[in-house]
Structure 1
Amino acid sequence: MGVILEVQNLKKDFDITAGKLHAVDNISFQLEQGKTLGVVGESGCGKSTLGKLLVGLEQATSGKIIFQGRNIEKAGRADWKALRKEMQMVFQDPMSSLDPRLCTMDLIAEPLKIFKVCRTQSELESRVRALMDLVGIAEHMIYAFPHELDGGRRQRIGIARALALEPEFIVCDEPVSALDVSIQAQVLNLLKQIQRDKGLSYLFITHDLSVVKHISDDILVMYMGQMVEKAACKELFHSPMHPYTRGLLSAIPIPSLRNRRKRVLMEGEITSPVNMKPGCRFAARCPYAQERCRQEQPALREVSPGHFVSCHFTETTSISDTPA
């Protein structure tokens, strides 16, 4: 399959009283048609800002976003209106992303009305009912309001809205983090089924490594606005190379008393993302950090086919404490 999305040296800085906050700093990657790229990292690492940049909700400071061969980073208002049919976003909190004054019917119908997809009211209702059936919302809930529904059903409405215009690419910004575990599984399986049926491409943002392992083809690990590691899902879980990735993976609980995993504790202070100084941003928490790490920013290197790491000492640090 071809590449549907290519990001080149993408940056986003916010001007604040104390200086410049580097939310996204020099991110580059490719996403193939029909695949899922998982983006993981701690809260505040820039995951959601990255997703918003890709769908035009934030304006990049510099860099390129190439979608289906077109550089959309400098797209105008008219261009973005056309792009809205091809790229959509599912937000983290369905309650805050849905208009509480609209019922299920009106919420799902809204994008169809804006783009004048249906010519008659009966065609519109038929399309909405088909979308409800696709995402698993019972027909008797067609006139229910968001406050009358649980979190899972509200998120299904958000997914239906995103699918209404039949897009090619969807950014899923922690779509299951606010849901119960059983509902999480239902929504994840729904997203995977829709992807298989329609050939969609996802950027799946989450802080839950168990979730990202279930749904992703490739995984991108972010720390303080930068990409520190990127690899195929199985490769990353089997052979993590960046100390930060190893720390994240060691925190995944194992439901076994025999197969205990040794924790990789990340001690030290988190570096401020404002007016960043030279050097590795993880150095203050890294057990392998040396003076070079505090002076020189490590370059992102391809240490094996498809496996990119940003670390000076990738080949020399021990990975004996990381999970298999």
Structure 2
Amino acid sequence: MSTALIQTRNLKKYFKTPKGTLHAVDGVDLEIKKGHTLGVVGESGCGKSTLGRAILRLLEPTDGEVLYDGKNILNYDKKEMIDMRKRMQIIFQDPYASLNPRMTINEIITEPVKVCRTITNKKEIEKKVTELMDTVGIAQRFINTYPHELDGGRRQRIGIARALILDPMFIVCDEPVSALDVSIQAQILNLMMELQEERGLTYMFITHDLSVVKHISDEIAVMYLGQCVERAPSEELFNNPLHPYTKALLNAIPAPDLSSRSKSKTVIKGEVTSPIDPKPGCRFAARCPEVKAECTLQNLELKENSRNHFVACTLYNRDYSMY
């Protein structure tokens, strides 16, 4: 029996535009085991955030399946989805824009409880809020303050508390530290890892910062223009990247030692392919230094190259179906 809490099968999200159909998420297959973290990385505009929102049905997928504990939630009606909201939450990227400036910290944290009606007793709600504020490291003296009175780190802690108040099992973390100072980033990441261990949480951690994703993720999925081009355990991906795009991303990570300055950096050249009505073939082909004729003939599937290491590339076209 699968231990995966979240699975997607051929998940797609398209948007109609005046110039055609934009393929924001195009046939993504992934799974996240219970209590684990899947890091999703890629350039801005590759569809990371759209993928997270489609899994939560904040954006309705165009096609495919989203399985929670083996059940396809895309078949759920409005009443069933309200119940699912208690199990799946999101931490947004911008702690400045994601909090209502007209609500106090107390009102922001308690809003999900009032919407889902999980707790009706006022004293129980107050107790839950104060406990959560202690958990995420917010002093109780801030309970009646407004978001503009707090710094970015405290605001993001409020966003985490709001996501936790319904006691979810799965949380989409949409670049939760990218808008914060480096020192605050470390504090928030450590907090999230502690919460995961204490509560058995399952994360989908979206980021463009590879050093961050290595720190927190058990497995990493690399996206390019709406498609997953490589997926592997975190350590395996960093030690043995296969896809040319993954190699270029890892090569771009700044090294802290001065001796690395003499090493040459791989620069991705060429124009980004349009995600509007894309032609068949690998979407990285126009920028790939190892492109071959067959790269543009048909769409490439994510195949297992070695145990638990999947890649969509003509350089690795052996059949590993025996595994």
Does residue 190 (structure 1) correspond to residue 191 (structure 2)? The answer is: yes
| CA-CA distance at 1:280 after TM superposition | 1.0
Corresponding residue for residue 321 of structure 1: none
Equivalent residue runs for 1:81-96 within 5 Å: 81-96=82-97
| CA-CA distance at 1:205 after TM superposition | 0.3
Runs of 4+ in 1 over 6 A off after TM superposition: none
| CA-CA distance at 1:279 after TM superposition | 1.5
> 2:193 and 2:202 mapped to 1: Cα distance?
10
Does residue 296 (structure 1) correspond to residue 298 (structure 2)? The answer is: yes
Corresponding residue for residue 44 of structure 1: 45
C-alpha RMSD of matched pairs (Å): 1.3
Equivalent residue runs for 1:1-324 within 5 Å: 2-260=3-261, 261-314=263-316
| CA-CA distance at 1:291 after TM superposition | 1.7
| CA-CA distance at 1:125 after TM superposition | 1.2
- If the length of structure 2 is used for normalisation, what is the TM-score? 0.95
Q: Is the 8 A contact 1:250 1:262 kept in 2?
A: no
| CA-CA distance at 1:105 after TM superposition | 0.8
> 1:83 and 1:211 mapped to 2: Cα distance?
29
Amino acid in the other structure paired with 2:192: L
| CA-CA distance at 1:120 after TM superposition | 2.6
Q: Is the 8 A contact 1:8 1:65 kept in 2?
A: yes
Q: Is the 8 A contact 2:10 2:65 kept in 1?
A: yes
More displaced 10-residue stretch of structure 1: 116-125 or 161-170:
116-125
| Identity across the alignment (%) | 53
Corresponding residue for residue 320 of structure 1: none
Q: Is the 8 A contact 2:221 2:228 kept in 1?
A: yes
SS at match of 2:258: coil
| CA-CA distance at 1:295 after TM superposition | 2.3
SS at match of 1:246: helix
> 1:37 and 1:54 mapped to 2: Cα distance?
13
Paired residues in the alignment total: 316
| CA-CA distance at 1:301 after TM superposition | 1.3
Q: Is the 8 A contact 2:219 2:232 kept in 1?
A: yes
- Summarize deviations over 1:228-264 as a string: whole Å, max 9, x none: 0000000000000000000000010111112444311
Amino acid in the other structure paired with 1:33: K
Amino acid in the other structure paired with 1:15: K
| CA-CA distance at 1:74 after TM superposition | 2.3
> 1:213 and 1:158 mapped to 2: Cα distance?
23
- If the length of structure 1 is used for normalisation, what is the TM-score? 0.95
Gaps of 5+ in 1: 317-324
> 2:41 and 2:120 mapped to 1: Cα distance?
42
Gaps of 5+ in 2: 319-323
